[in-house]
Amino acid sequence: MPPIEYANASQNSVMFGNVVPLSTLMEFLIQRTYHELSILSELLLGKNDLERKIEICQFANRTKQTFVRLLALVKWTNSANKVDKCARIFSFLQQQQLLFVETADCLARMARETLVHARLPSFSLPCAIDVLMTGTYPRLPFCIKEKIVPPEPLPPLEKKRVLTKLTQVIEYRIVMNDLPHSMCKPVIENGRVKFTVDHEFEVFLTLMGDTPNLPWRLLNIDILVEDYESKNGRSLVHPQQVAFIHEMVQSKLLESEQPLHDLYNCLLSTVTNFLFPDFFCQSLQLEVLYFQSFTLIKEKFGDFVKVDEYNLGRNLIISYWRDSGKSQKLYPTGCKLNIYVDEKNTSKPLFISHSPVLYGEDGMKSMKQINELKRELEMFTSAKCSIIDFPPLMYLTVSKELEEIIITVDMMKGLFSVTKINSANPYLDALEDSLNGDRKDIGQIFAAIRVFQYKCMYESMLVSHRLQYTDYSQKPTDLHATFGKNFFSVAFPNTNKYTMIIKFSNKDKACVQHFLLKVREMDPVSKRLNYSEMIFVDPAKILESNSINALLNSKKSKASVPLMHMFSNIYSHMEDIILFDGLNDELGLLGIYNSNHLPDPCGIGYSLQITKGISFDTSDAAKIPFNSHDMTVTFRLIKKDKCYWCVLVTASENPIFSLPTLNEQYTRCFLKVYDVSDVKKVVSSFATDWNVNYQMLKIVHDMSYQYNDHLVQGEQTLPSQFYIESFSFNKLVISYGPKRHFLVSVEYCNNTKSFQVTFGSHADSVISNPHSLVSAHLSHHLNKSKSLVLFCKLLAQTCEVNEQLYKLNTTPLVWTKVNWMLPVQNYTVVAQSLFHYRIYYFYPLFCMELSCPNKTYITFKDSSISPNAKLNDASLSGFQAFLCASSDSLCSSNDVTGSIDENNAQHNVVGMSDVDNFLLSDLQMNVFRSAAEKIHQPFLENYVTRDLLTKLMTPINNVSPLDKYLGVQYFRRHLQRIIKSDDSQLIQIPTTEAGVLMFKSDLSGLQLKFNASLVSSPLKIFPLQDTPWDMDDLFSLEKFFEVKVLSHPYKPSNLEAFCSLLKMHFHILKDFINIFRMELNADKNMRWFVQLLLTFPSGFDYNMGANAIVISRKIVFILLLTCNVGHPSYAESTPSSNQPPNVILPLCYDSATNTVQLVENHKQNVNQMSVVANILKRFSDFLVKPNECSILPAIREIIANLT
């Protein structure tokens, strides 16, 4: 046996948790004993006898002790259960100890590595405030409420209102649809309609809205076929079958053009080809009869009766008298009863036929009597008859809209019997007596039956329409002479001045006639109705002119129009007549005459056309009658989803046809729509709108008249750049400007009784309309002059100046106050009149006045020298010098600068004025004066040309010359404020030179001169005595001021940062000047470009835009390093970057230790900041020179080593 490896033993010990099985231990001992014995046998060969004995005794003793221990261990294992428990407990405690140790190690690792950079998240203060203050949390997503919280139920009043509205919609749909004959008695209540077919089915329908084409929704189906004998009153149809029928019928309702007919046919006819037979309800009746027959055969009749044939849903044939000898002789083929469904007319009940035919002698007589009666009735009346063989009966139709009358013959007595299918008629007994008598008055009886049936139908229709009516058949009235005995008087719900008369006649044709009476008065005692006008309403003409009937005629004949539908059209037509009469009366009260309501030429309804009464004024002529100017006003009544008046005003020609226009299609009509609820309000609104159109027509007509009159005389009244865009009788749009990019719309507001002017521009225009600055003044001038020609001239004369003023930047700035987040407007232009403007720069710091006395020259001056100047208006130094420097042609007499009394400056907007003549003469007298003499006249107005104004206000690289000049003036004031501050360390030097500010800095050894009269290079820097400054350094400092500090948008924080640089010591400032050189003259071979930031950028804890150079015991400044795209290493490190990367370095210089450190900023890139910090630490440890400022060398070290 080979020895067991110790590796396996250790593996087993690990497997069993430091526990070795007893069998394994015994194998170990046996193997070891065998191994030692083998070695001993080999070693004993080289020893003597005594040594062999000693070794054998030692081996035996040692082996004995080992096996004695094994024996003790074996005996001990008999009682080792408690030891095993202790061992398991010990093992469990060891595992728990390992878990505690591992937890402690994880916590220590988290504290040393993870939690060092961990930060708490910002607390949700709004949520906490909501919970503490209101006790609720309203910030949950709305989807929780939409998907979980059920919607609130409707209140009872809202439910009642909705159900009432839905009931009205259902009534309308029932009236407009053609119903099956067996479903002609619907019951409508609580927003649903019930159709019942006796002994067959009952359905409940509703609508889900008021859309005309919305399909019906089936609510419930009840099958009324019952069998109380066999089923004990239980339902014959399984609920699953009812559910299937429900789904199938609902699908038919969604797809069909005649849904109610398809519903009836579907329930009465074919359901499916595999589950339900044809004619469902009738087939169910056949099924009941089939089972009842089997029950009778089984319980009573036996072999005497037999079911010969039963076709499911078709017919049931039963044979009887099967064992009777008499019947076998009389009827060899047998007596059979066939109960079947009429497939041609499923609306009729089950039919019964007998074989053989039960005519006999009595049957033949009955059929003969029925046929003779049919020929007689068809000869003397217009009734239509149809005969069924057995039992002998005749269906009689008095009129096409009325119900059928059934006439049968008693075969025993030979007398006629008359019945009605659905309702009773008191004249049926008289008809039966007449048929069984001499039949002389049968025609009158048929007429009475016809009248009675029509009255019943109209009663039901009036009740369904909820109309109040009075039956005058049994009431005495003087109207019987006009309308006969049988007529209804129907009242209209919204007026008592009109009533409808429904006359029922005995004539075959036109048996129902409709009249509209205009009631004059009604006697309260006698109830006598006096009318002033009677209008006969012909249904045929209404249906011909009705657009709905056109759709009906395309599918079926005019005779198929339902009576209820025809009555609805007649009633609606009468309502239209009433509305037109009310409108006619209201217009007459205003003196507006019309042609009364006539059939509309469009062929739909009526229209009312105004003939005279409205007039408008044309220039100085008298008022011209309305119809003589070819203007027509037509009122129409439009009924769609809502009823409203539509007023169409049409002109034979547009008054702008003779004006210069861009569109050759002139609008000759406009449309107004009014609600039909209140006629007085409609007429008032029409009068208001007509006044607006009248005012616009008047002003446009005057414009056309002046233009044509001056055109005949050879004069040009309108500027050449003005064109009419459109004129819609209530709004005029004019385009003007150099490229006709500007638009002005003129409208008349009836509330303010004035014209409203709105300025805009085309989509391709670069700028907005500049006349929005003076829109109020232009609107006032138009309302005062009432002349569009003068208005257009004003636009032309003020367009150029306003266009230049509109170029001024009015965007608010957020860095011009101590409160950095308070915006201040850059420019503010206030138009005091059409020709006088005040221009504020950083309101209310600087103010300038601009006037336009004529078309050639403009006065432009500083408002601080004006007699009306305010105390806080700051003066602009060198303003005249700035204008002279900006003008290139002052000495060539094209620009004039002189003095003139403001009271003599009479502005003329049409041509040259006295001011122009004075200016020209002044030019001739003073053309040889020098510009310097004119500059030092402080109270003179500055006359400039329009070209010079354009030059001053046209931006070049987003900065205009006026921006530069005012920026210098603003810096002069702010620089003076900085010098006078307590911590300035800048000393002002007195000077008598106007507009010049001189100061010095002892620390930097510089003297500075700021000349506000110079737009370019206003700052000059000179060294103090005994200061070793290089002129190149001073030139670089001046250039940096002009390029970086004095730059648009002229932030005061830039000037404060520059003044902070002047507070530095000489050798420190020199390093910053070298940084300026590196920024202004960038070396393209360097990897990074350097830029000194004067203000705080975004991403810092300080106010963005504030002074970024802070000097106390240390100097804090910010550098922006931008990667050089052209450097070879750029493509290797950032191949996919679209923009060059940049690094913002906030640095701190300690002059005491001459070291540069990185200011910690958590919002920057941590990796880059750590690299820069390591570079600066290595530089401060090894590369700093004692007698040299370390700012510039440190920056060079960063540029060279940062990757």
On whether residue 634 sits in a domain, the answer given is: no
Element (H, E) at 1120: strand 1114-1123
Cα distances from 265 to residues 183, 278, 552, 899, in angstroms, run 11, 10, 22, 103
Q: CA–CA separation, 272 vs 278, rounded Å?
A: 8
SS3 breakdown of the chain: % helix, strand, coil, rounded to 5? Answer: 40, 20, 35
Range ranked top by mean pLDDT from 33-47, 640-654, 928-942? 33-47
Residues 789 and 828 in one domain: no
Assigned domain for 783 exists: yes
Whether 594 is covered by a domain: the verdict is no
Q: What pLDDT is recorded for position 355?
A: 74
Q: Which of 1040, 1031, 981, 991 is nearest to 1013 (CA)?
A: 991
Alpha-carbon gap, residue 304 to 328, rounded angstroms: 12
Of 275 and 122, the one with more pLDDT? 122
Q: Is residue 580 part of a domain?
A: no
| Rounded mean pLDDT, 152-174 | 89
Is 475 in the same domain as 444?
no
Q: Is 649 within 8 Å of 673 (Cβ atoms)? A: no
What one-letter code names the amino acid at 1008? Answer: L
406-413 average pLDDT score: 71
When pLDDT is averaged across residues 1145-1157 and rounded to a whole number, the result is 89
pTM: 0.56
**Which pLDDT belongs to residue 913?**
37
Whole-number pLDDT of residue 532: 76
Tokens 């006249």 map to which residue?
937
DSSP 280-307: HHHHHHHHHHHHHHHHHIIIIIGGG-EE
* Residue 439 region by backbone torsions, left for phi larger than 0, else alpha for psi between -120 and 50, else beta: left
Judge whether 48 lies within some domain: yes
Q: What pLDDT is stored for residue 27 in this prediction?
A: 92
Please tell me which residue, 593 or 123, carries the higher pLDDT value. 123
Give the pLDDT mean for 652-664: 62
Residue 716's pLDDT band, with cuts at 50, 70 and 90, is: low
Q: Is residue 851 part of a domain?
A: yes
Both 818 and 949 in one domain: the answer is: yes
- CA nearest 582: which of 706, 697, 717, 681? 681
pLDDT in the model for residue 61: 94
Maximum mean pLDDT: which of 51-60, 350-359, 721-730, 1082-1091: 51-60
Q: Of the residues 249, 268, 287, which one is the last residue of a structural domain? A: 268
If asked whether residues 819 and 948 sit together in one domain, one would say yes
H/E element, 929: none
Helix (H) or strand (E) holding 1110: strand 1110-1111
- The number of folded domains in the chain is 8
Note the pLDDT of residue 232. 63
pLDDT score for 120:
79
Establish if 293 belongs to a structural domain: no
pLDDT number for residue 194: 92
Strand-strand pairing, 1006-1011 and 1019-1023 = antiparallel
Query: Distance between CA 997 and CA 613 in Å, rounded?
Result: 79
Residue 33 has pLDDT above 90, yes or no: yes
Question: Could you tell me if 784 and 908 lie in one domain?
Answer: no
Higher pLDDT, 521 or 177: 177
The pLDDT, as a whole number, for residue 338 is: 85
More confident of the two residues 1136 and 1094: 1094
- Dig out the tokens for 1088 from the structure: 């990074």
Per the CB < 8 A criterion, the answer to whether 590 and 615 are in contact is no
Banded pLDDT at 271 (limits 50, 70, 90) = very low
Query: pLDDT tens across 462-501, in order?
Result: 888 888 888 887 777 777 777 888 888 888 887 878 888 8
CA distances 849 to 796, 835, 994, Å, are 21, 10, 22
Higher-confidence residue: 928 or 521? 521
**Are the beta carbons of 865 and 899 closer than 8 angstroms?**
no
- Strands 606-612 and 631-639 turn out to be antiparallel
Burial readout 60-86 (b: 16 or more C-beta within 10 A, e: otherwise): eeeeeeeeeebeeeeeeeeeeeeeeee
Give the contacts of 49 (CB within 8 A, at least 6 positions apart).
none
pLDDT on residue 243: 87
Same domain? 795 vs 812: no
Q: What is the CATH number of the domain that holds 431?
A: 3.30.457
| Whether the Cβ atoms of residue 347 and residue 180 lie closer than 8 Å to each other | yes
The predicted structure's pLDDT at residue 933: 40
Strand partners, 859: 851, 943
Same domain, 819 and 941: yes
Distances in Å between the alpha carbon of 549 and those of 273, 566, 775?
38, 10, 55
Q: Identify whether the C-beta of residue 670 lies closer than 8 Å to the C-beta of residue 730.
A: yes
Domain housing 478: 467-537
Strand ranges, E, within 857-926: 857-862
The residue type of 119 is: R
Three-state secondary structure call for residue 1026: coil
> Mean of the pLDDT values across residues 312-330?
66
pLDDT of residue 595: 58
418 forms beta bridges with: 407
The C-alpha atoms of residue 726 and residue 167 are separated, in whole angstroms, by 49
* Cα 579 to Cα 556: distance, rounded to the nearest angstrom: 32
Q: How far apart are CA 852 and CA 835, in angstroms?
A: 5
Q: 1046's torsion region: left (phi>0), alpha (psi -120 to 50) or beta? A: beta
Does residue 438 sit in the same domain as residue 499? no
550 band by pLDDT with thresholds 50, 70 and 90:
very low
| Of 665, 666, 679, residue with least CA distance to 497 | 679
Look at 7-21, 588-602, 927-941 and tell me which has the smallest mean pLDDT: 927-941
pLDDT at 1066: 85
* Out of 162-171, 197-206, 387-396, least confident range: 387-396
The span from the CA of 1051 to the CA of 1103, in Å, is 14
Same domain, residue pair 846 and 795:
no
Using a pLDDT cut of 70, give the percent of the chain over it. Answer: 76
Any idea how long the chain is?
Answer: 1203
Q: How is residue 742 annotated by DSSP?
A: E
**Residue 22 and residue 76: Cα distance in Å, rounded?**
11
Whether residues 868 and 897 fall in one domain: yes
What's the average model confidence in pLDDT over 373-386? 71
Nearest Cα residue to 836 out of 790, 878, 804, 798: 798
Q: Which of 93-97, 667-671, 1105-1109, 1124-1128 has the highest mean pLDDT?
A: 93-97
Q: Is the dihedral of CA 710, 715, 719, 722 positive or negative?
A: positive
Given a contact cutoff of 8 angstroms between Cβ atoms, the answer to whether 623 and 615 are in contact is yes
Task: Please report the pLDDT score of residue 597 as a whole number.
Answer: 59
Quick one: average pLDDT of 1008-1023? 87
852 & 884 share domain: yes
Q: How confident is the model at residue 59 (pLDDT cuts 50, 70, 90)?
A: very high
- Using pLDDT thresholds of 50, 70 and 90, give the confidence band for residue 57: very high
Confidence bin at 361 (pLDDT 50/70/90) = low
- For residue 512, the cross-strand partners are 504
Whether 1199 shows a pLDDT value over 60: the answer reads: yes
Query: Per mean pLDDT, which of 378-387, 687-696, 1141-1150 is the most reliable?
Result: 1141-1150
Grouping H, G, I as helix, E, B as strand and the rest as coil, residue 739 is: coil
Average pLDDT, the chain: 77
Residue 554: inside a domain: no
CA distance 592 to 627: 12
DSSP character string of 562-623: -HHHHHHHHHHHHHHHHHHHHHHHHHHHTT-EEEEEEE-TTSSSEEEEEEES--B--TTSPP
What CA–CA distance (Å, rounded) separates 582 from 492? 14
Look at residue 65 and tell me whether its pLDDT is greater than 80.
yes
pLDDT tens digits, residue range 857-866? 888 888 876 5
Domain end (from 28, 63, 79):
79
Residues 714-741, mean pLDDT to the nearest whole number:
78
The pLDDT, as a whole number, for residue 98 is 93
Same domain, 426 and 512: no
The tokens of 275 are what?
A: 């589950």
Contact at 8 Å (CB) between 1067 and 1186?
Answer: no
Cα 1193 from Cα 1189, distance rounded (Å): 8
**Rounded CA separation 904/917 (Å):** 12
- Contact criterion met (CB below 8 Å) for 1106 and 1118: no
Q: Which of 211, 243, 268 is the last residue of a domain?
A: 268
CATH of the domain at 792: 3.10.110
3-state secondary structure 86-139: HHHHHHHHHHHHHHHHHHHHHHHHHHHHHCCCCCCCCCCHHHHHHHHHHCCCCC
pLDDT in tens, 868-906: 555 455 678 888 888 888 876 443 333 443 333 333 333
User: Residue 10 burial by CB count (10 A; 0-12/13-18/19+): exposed, middle or buried?
Assistant: exposed
* Euclidean distance between CA atoms 385 and 396, whole angstroms: 5
Q: How many CB atoms lie within 10 A of CB 359?
A: 16
Residue 153 exposed, middle or buried by CB count within 10 Å (0-12, 13-18, 19+) = exposed
Q: What is the pLDDT of residues 673-711, one digit of tens each?
A: 888 778 888 888 888 888 888 888 888 888 887 777 665
